[in-house]
Amino acid sequence: MYSDLVMDHFSNPRNVGEIPDADGVGTAGNPVCGDIMKIYIKVKDDCIEDIKFKTFGCGAAVATSSMVTEMVKGKTIEEALVITDKAVAEALGGLPANKMHCSNLAATTVHKAIEDYRSKVGAGSR
Amino acid sequence: MYSDLVMDHFSNPRNVGEIPDADGVGTAGNPVCGDIMKIYIKVKDDCIEDIKFKTFGCGAAVATSSMVTEMVKGKTIEEALVITDKAVAEALGGLPANKMHCSNLAATTVHKAIEDYRSKVGAGSR
Amino acid sequence: MENKPDKVVYMDHSATTAVHPKVLDAMLPYFSERFGNASSIYGLAREARRALDQSRQTLAEGIGAKPEEIIFTSGGTESDNLALKGVADALRSKGNHIITSAIEHHAILHVCEYLSKRGYEITYLPVDKHGIVDPDAVGRAITEGTVLVSIMHANNEVGTIEPIAEIGRICKERKVVFHSDGVQAVGKLPIKVDELGVDLYSISAHKFYGPKGVGALYVRRRTPLIPQAQGGSQERNRRAGTENTAGIVGLATAIAMAEERRDDYNRKVGALRDRLIAGIQERIPSVCLNGHPTRRLSNNVNFCFQYVEGESILLNLDLMGVAASSGSACTSASLEPSHVLLAMGVQPEIAHGSVRLTLGYDNTEQEVDYVLSILPEIIERLRSMSPLYSKAGAAAGGGNG
Amino acid sequence: MENKPDKVVYMDHSATTAVHPKVLDAMLPYFSERFGNASSIYGLAREARRALDQSRQTLAEGIGAKPEEIIFTSGGTESDNLALKGVADALRSKGNHIITSAIEHHAILHVCEYLSKRGYEITYLPVDKHGIVDPDAVGRAITEGTVLVSIMHANNEVGTIEPIAEIGRICKERKVVFHSDGVQAVGKLPIKVDELGVDLYSISAHKFYGPKGVGALYVRRRTPLIPQAQGGSQERNRRAGTENTAGIVGLATAIAMAEERRDDYNRKVGALRDRLIAGIQERIPSVCLNGHPTRRLSNNVNFCFQYVEGESILLNLDLMGVAASSGSACTSASLEPSHVLLAMGVQPEIAHGSVRLTLGYDNTEQEVDYVLSILPEIIERLRSMSPLYSKAGAAAGGGNG
Ligand SMILES: Cc1ncc(COP(=O)(O)O)c(C=O)c1O
Ligand SMILES: Cc1ncc(COP(=O)(O)O)c(C=O)c1O
């Protein structure tokens, strides 16, 4: 069902955890669908310096979470915002059709974390 | 499908043939149903002295024809009239359900031959 | 008359065939080792899933289709039922008229009867004396309300091959969905769904050395079809039920083999067929070959033997070690003469005397010659017993048994 | 954590079972030797016919029925479809109301949806937190127009055994036809159709060490039923299609074996089940056994593991060589939480964390202990990754992978 790359990210997920003093936190999904992702980012000089995730969900949810952290770590915020859920799925070599909807929210979650970061920075600077 | 006794009568039918100077001839069945029996009898002293048949039909049709000739040969006309199609089937140890209707007409055919004989005798005596 | 052979001379391949040893070999691992449920996610199930995918691919390639256009079923009957009811159901709002032929298998005709009780109008097209449907008659029968045409690829009783490609062209022009029952055609005729112009096509594995209880329905993309078995989401929600992995692998292996040896099969079996037909015509008077002289399946021999009844011939053949049938196997419980022969204009009493000998890859010249050696005597003996024969005055009266 | 075993630890027996070697042995002759079409008249066909008759007799004896009350089908799904549509069709003039439960298999629920689109009214009875249907609720739901009650014998996800005999009594009193889906019950529960009071009963061979693609429907004499597959006159005109002789022989052999070893099976498998349930409850916090504590199938273990999602657990189990499932295999393509758990009142996010481990005759204590040795770590690792777990404050925050 899942490709080897998906299974690799599922079995050895990168960047699992929380960042207690995160600059931004994003959450997507809902428990009824069976997938919830939470992403923490640390931003320095407009760059995503550190990123961690926690995910409740199926194999695809875990793997996309892991993959997205690898994809955006060290990237600028602008670069991170360009990455789509679809791009994450592609980076994993594709996902089963029925997993494309609910379980493929990792980029969305990163965008939400960035939004959170921006709203805090905005609030702080205001 | 057929019992051994039916197959025996089918493979070695008794009394096949015609009686050129028969005292009575009976026919039953019709070609659309796929079964036609013709029975010839020779009567002496109210007794069926000789009997022969010709049959176009399935295994059951042939076997019942053969069986009925054995059953009535040497019997009186009254005795022969008591024999039913059902009795012939029973004497054969039963027939498949779908063969009980069209293919089981041998006794009926004998009765028709007797009728024919009686009508001729009646005509002669009148 | 020769002695009864040690081995049964099997000449009823259109009723069913033995599973080929190669096919059985391919199936065996899927009973007890790779037994996983193809819908589960673990390794064992992935093996089954892979076998299913591979089988679907093989079948699709065999008939020039795409894998997602294949629905695996439990046999030809289910495929026919699904095709007719599925399309009729799906297009109910568009119309209620279905066109078929008078010589279809009961898996089509009895579904049509079922549908006609539920408000559908059925046109049963006639056939000519060789059993051929006129494509123009299909065109003329199509009305505004026609939702489906179903004409078999080759007839199971008399082996006549229908002009499917022409009918397909007409259906396409008139934008009517076209189904063909191909159960008897696989392994004998080239089947490329685009060339045939069919939207749906029924297949049954046990007719070409595959297992019984498994079949397939080809459904061209975008053909409206309402599933007839509700339950799990197998076969992309179009046919529920845990997949019969072993059976499906058997079907695929069998069709690959059938396609590979098709030319060889037709050459070899066709020669036996011609030898049998010629031999019967030479040796037995008052016989008549049913079906088309040339547009017929390479394995089909079907004769009417006048003045005698078919079952009696079959029983005698069986006693002599030859397995044959009169018409379709599933109607052998019935006493009606063959609806196919009647539709071809054969008189009922003559239709009753029909025997079908359908050859297979493993039949031999010796077997054909054996049948030719015993058949004249069987017919002669039965004729001597027949009241129709003497009535016909064609020969001397019968002797005693 | 122990090393991954050489052989897969298969704990998904409710999805499907491997064909038992004895069953396969019984089937083998019917593929390539005794391959005759059971409806033909010659010797080869008589062998097949005899095998069919014998199989029908065996199955009938196994469930306390008469041979003529058995219809062989292509599996549990077809049996369920035939039962519901067949009775609904036959009694359409009497009424249009059908009663079932909210926890039936999709082969029942999706047929009900199909029927509801065609004018039938369906009542879905609720269940209690253990998944049990209240027989009195059945009685209360019956109206003038009720034509059929269908309640499963045992649930495939949580193993709950329903009070079928009581429901049967009520249906009999109220003169309503009663069907039960017994697919999961065979080999585990005593099945005597008269004691259960069922008029129809569905069976699927691959759930008790028989082959996939073959099943049966018991139909009590005089129960009105309109056939759903039209074609040949097989199965006394109630299910058309060339008989899957090998499959049917497999079904019969499997049920005879299942009945013979039923007590042994329940004792052995039940002990493993209890060991697995107790072990999980001891070793893993925040878990909850789904289904009834005692009125459950001897082979069913079903737990919700809070804060984690079921598929992730299954994938980890698979990586460690254990085959299990979350709910029914045929819905594993769906993302919805189990309709059975929801009907039992389980919260959706908790229902997502359910895992079903269904044991079989060949599972061992070692295998159970192996699962118990790896499962706590898998759950712990997934929980450490779960945002719900830390939110729940039930443990320390997650570490890094
Ligand atoms: C032309 C045709 N259609 C359909 C069928 C039905 O196939 P099955 O018996 O495999 O269901 C048959 C054979 O029985 C057939 O010859
Ligand atoms: C309770 C129940 N009913 C029906 C079915 C359907 O049986 P099959 O998949 O053999 O068609 C299953 C299993 O899939 C089941 O567990």
Any D CB within 8 A of A73 CB: no
CATH topology of domain D9-17+262-390: Aspartate Aminotransferase, domain 1 (3.90.1150)
Q: A97: nearest CA in chain C?
A: C236
CA of C260 to the centre of ligand 1 (A): 23
Nearest-5° Cα angle at C204, C194 to C172: 25
- The sign of the CA dihedral D219, D223, D226, D232 is positive
SS (H, E, C) chain D: CCCCCCCCEECECCCCCCCCHHHHHHHCHHHHCCCCCCCCCCHHHHHHHHHHHHHHHHHHHHHCCCHHHEEEECCHHHHHHHHHHHHHHHCCCCCCEEEEECCCCHHHHHHHHHHHHCCCEEEEECCCCCCCCCHHHHHHHCCCCEEEEECCCECCCCCEECCHHHHHHHHHHCCCEEEEECCCCCCCCCCCHHHHCCCEEEEEHHHCCCCCCCEEEEECCCCCCCCCCCCCCHHHHCCCCCCCHHHHHHHHHHHHHHHHCHHHHHHHHHHHHHHHHHHHHHHCCCEEECCCCCCECCCEEEEEECCCCHHHHHHHHHHCCEECECCCHHHCCCCCCCHHHHHCCCCHHHHCCEEEEECCCCCCHHHHHHHHHHHHHHHHHHHHCCHHHHHHCCCCCCCCC
Ligand at minimal distance from the CA of C158 is 1
Scan residues 44-63 of C and list those with Cβ closer than 8 Å to A: 46, 49
- For the cut 70, the answer to whether the pLDDT of residue C259 exceeds it is yes
Location of structure tokens 């769904």: C193
Distance from C-alpha of C354 to C-alpha of C191, rounded to nearest angstrom: 29
Which residue ranges make up each domain of chain C? 9-17+262-390, 21-260
Please name the residue whose Cα sits nearest to atom 9 of ligand 2.
C242
Please name the residue whose Cα sits nearest to atom 16 of ligand 1.
C156
Any A CB within 8 A of D367 CB: no
Strand partners, C179: C150, C200
Strand partners, B26: B39
Under the banding of pLDDT at 50, 70 and 90, the label for residue D197 is very high
Q: Could you read off the pLDDT of C125-153 as tens digits, one per residue?
A: 999 999 999 999 999 999 999 999 999 99
Output the pLDDT for position C399.
Answer: 36
Three-state SS at B49: strand
Q: Which amino acid makes up residue C27?
A: M
Distance from C-alpha of D140 to C-alpha of C115, rounded to nearest angstrom: 36
CB contacts of D387 in chain A (<8 Å) are 27, 36-38, 54-56
Select from D294, D104, D126 the least CA-distant residue to D182: D104
**Cα D119 to the center of its chain, rounded Å:** 28
Closest partner residue to A56 (CB to CB) among D337, D387, D400 is D387
Provide mean pLDDT across the span C269-294. Answer: 98
Closest partner residue to C41 (CB to CB) among D8, D211, D318 is D318
> What percentage of chain D reaches a pLDDT higher than 70?
94
Distance from C-alpha of D233 to C-alpha of D239, rounded to nearest angstrom: 8
Identify whether D330 is a catalytic site residue.
yes
Q: What's the complex ipTM?
A: 0.93
Q: A1: nearest CA in chain C?
A: C41
Provide mean pLDDT across the span D250-265. Answer: 98
Cβ D147 under 6 angstroms from ligand 2? no
Provide mean pLDDT across the span D159-176. Answer: 98
Lowest mean pLDDT among A21-30, C333-342, C357-366, D300-309: C333-342
Closest partner residue to D385 (CB to CB) among A16, A101, A103 is A16
Any C CB within 8 A of A33 CB: no
Any C CB within 8 A of A98 CB: no
Under the banding of pLDDT at 50, 70 and 90, the label for residue D173 is very high
Provide mean pLDDT across the span C210-231. Answer: 98
Query: Among the CATH numbers 3.40.640.10, 3.30.1460.30, 3.40.50.300, 3.10.129.10, which is that of D21-260?
Result: 3.40.640.10
Structure tokens at C214: 């498994």
Please report the beta strands in C172-251, taking only residues with DSSP state E, as ranges in sequence order.
Answer: 177-181, 200-204, 215-219
Output the pLDDT for position D396.
Answer: 41
- For the cut 60, the answer to whether the pLDDT of residue C290 exceeds it is yes
